[in-house]
């Protein structure tokens, strides 16, 4: 059977081109009612000589997932592609082009379920269509928290062993996207799930560092944000006499401007700090294999419910 799998993220323009950033920012404004200033973003990227790897990583994640699915369930014909919520190819367009009689699984590449992650993908998949589908479109839930924590912790351990860092004199800062603690209307922010994932990673790597802390990459508008912000978390390391820190943006499955550039800027402003910045899990083979198991399990469960 042909089974379609669509790997989806926000997307992000790779280069500091104003028109690309403008379209991206406009789509985010329409989809999330969040403001992203394209001019400021373009200027900052140029000053920092930054290029976003997000879409290149997402393409590789899709290729890796296809390979893992083929190994795990070779009797199926897996057709895996990438799509984006706010960049071309848009998820809605990719879904509309797929055959109506072939099942589709959407895999949102986000750590925690929230109104800003999986719910966007669900809403896109559920939008009224001009024709009825004979086969379903299913949006996967996030990876089980313990499963993602296992992948992330193994990634941290492999990276620090490769780089020769870590130990009792080092701290580990686990960074994630912050959120409002009291949003204007009731909203699932994913905060609690993110905190649980951080705790699960901490439990697995505790003996590798003198201290492990969670820090949030917060904005400054809209009210009170998650605590502690990364700045305060770094200050707590200093107060304990820890001057060497491994920075791991665990709250993202792929590197992007927030995980890379914002993290770089925060770390750079701490002159006392000897920092080592880890990449996100990105194209980890363990991530692809874990996602493949989730996709296959979901397909088997659906077949049990619906029958042949």
Whether residues 130 and 22 share a domain: the answer is yes
**Model pLDDT for residues 263-295, shown as the tens digit of each residue:** 889 998 888 899 999 999 999 999 999 999 999
Written as six digits, the tokens of 270 are 């701490």
Q: How far apart are CA 11 and CA 257, in angstroms?
A: 11
Return contacts of 291-297, CB within 8 angstroms, 24+ apart: 291/65, 291/68, 291/107, 291/143, 292/65, 292/68, 292/69, 292/71, 292/72, 293/72, 294/107, 294/140, 294/143, 294/147, 295/5, 295/65, 295/69, 295/105, 295/107, 295/140, 296/69, 296/72, 296/73
What's the mean pLDDT in 22-31?
A: 68
Under 8 Å between Cβ of 275 and 267 = yes
- Please give the pLDDT value at position 307: 53
- 163 Cβ partners below 8 Å, 6+ apart? 276
For residue 25, name the pLDDT band (cuts at 50, 70, 90). confident
Structural domain harbouring 268? 145-277
Q: Are 111 and 100 within one domain?
A: yes
Q: For the packed helices 145-163 and 191-205, what is the interaxial angle rounded to 10 degrees?
A: 50
Residues 6+ apart with CB under 8 A from 197: 111, 112, 145, 148, 149, 152, 250, 251
Quick one: 270 and 175 in the same domain? yes
149 and 198 together in one domain: yes
pLDDT above 50 for 33: no
The verdict on 24 and 134 lying in the same domain is yes
pLDDT of amino acid 30: 61
Distance CA 143, CA 297 (A): 12
Q: Quick one: 131 and 27 in the same domain?
A: yes
Q: What is the pLDDT of residues 216-257, one digit of tens each?
A: 998 776 788 999 999 999 999 999 999 999 999 999 999 999
pLDDT in tens, 39-51: 788 888 899 999 9
Backbone angles phi and psi of 135, in degrees to 5: -120, 150
78-92, 137-151, 176-190: segment of lowest average pLDDT: 176-190
Identify whether residues 28 and 119 lie together within a single domain: yes
Regarding whether 271 and 160 lie in a shared domain, the answer is yes
- Whether residue 28 contacts residue 102, with contact meaning beta carbons closer than 8 Å, is answered with no
Residues 131 and 11 in one domain: yes
Same domain, 97 and 22: yes
| Eight-class DSSP state of 217 | E
- Verify that 300 and 197 share a domain, yes or no: no
Backbone φ and ψ for 294, nearest 5 degrees, come out as -65, -45
Cβ neighbourhood burial of 20 (10 Å; 0-12, 13-18, 19+): middle
144 neighbors 297 (Cβ within 8 angstroms)? no
CATH code of 153's domain: 3.40.50.1400
Taking only the tens place, the pLDDT of each residue in 128-145 is 565 678 889 999 999 999
* Model pLDDT, residue 36: 57
**Using an 8 Å Cβ cutoff, are 282 and 210 in contact?**
no
Residues 135 and 149 in one domain: no
- The tally of domains found in the chain comes to 2
Query: Which of 201, 178, 200, 176 is CA-nearest to residue 189?
Result: 178
């Amino acid at each position: 059977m042909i089974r379609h799998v669509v790997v989806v993220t926000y997307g992000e323009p790779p280069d500091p081109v104003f028109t690309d950033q403008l379209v991206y920012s406009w789509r985010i404004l329409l989809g999330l009612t969040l403001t992203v200033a394209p001019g400021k973003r373009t200027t900052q990227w140029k000053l920092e000589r930054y290029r976003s790897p997000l879409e290149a990583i997402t393409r590789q994640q899709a290729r890796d997932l296809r390979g893992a699915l083929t190994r795990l369930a070779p009797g199926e014909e897996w057709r895996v592609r990438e799509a984006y919520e706010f960049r071309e190819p848009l998820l809605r367009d990719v879904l509309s082009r797929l055959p109506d009689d072939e099942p589709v699984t959407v895999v949102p590449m986000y750590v925690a379920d929230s109104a800003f992650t999986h719910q966007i993908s669900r809403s896109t998949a559920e939008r009224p269509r001009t024709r009825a589908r004979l086969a379903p479109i299913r949006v996967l839930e996030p990876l089980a928290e313990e499963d993602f924590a296992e992948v992330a912790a193994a990634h941290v351990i492999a990276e620090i062993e490769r780089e020769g860092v870590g130990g009792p004199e080092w701290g580990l800062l686990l960074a994630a996207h912050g959120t409002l603690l009291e949003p204007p209307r009731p909203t699932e922010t994913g905060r609690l799930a993110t905190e649980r994932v951080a705790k699960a990673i901490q439990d697995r790597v505790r003996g590798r560092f003198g201290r492990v802390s969670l820090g949030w990459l917060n904005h400054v508008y809209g009210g009170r944000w998650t605590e502690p912000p990364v700045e305060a978390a770094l200050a707590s390391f200093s107060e304990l006499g820890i001057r060497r820190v491994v920075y791991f943006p665990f709250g993202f499955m792929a590197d992007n401007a927030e995980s890379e550039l914002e993290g770089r800027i925060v770390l750079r402003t701490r002159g006392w700090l000897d920092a080592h910045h880890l990449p996100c899990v990105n194209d980890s083979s363990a991530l692809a294999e874990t996602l493949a198991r989730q996709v296959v399990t979901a397909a088997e469960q659906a077949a049990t419910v619906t029958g042949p």
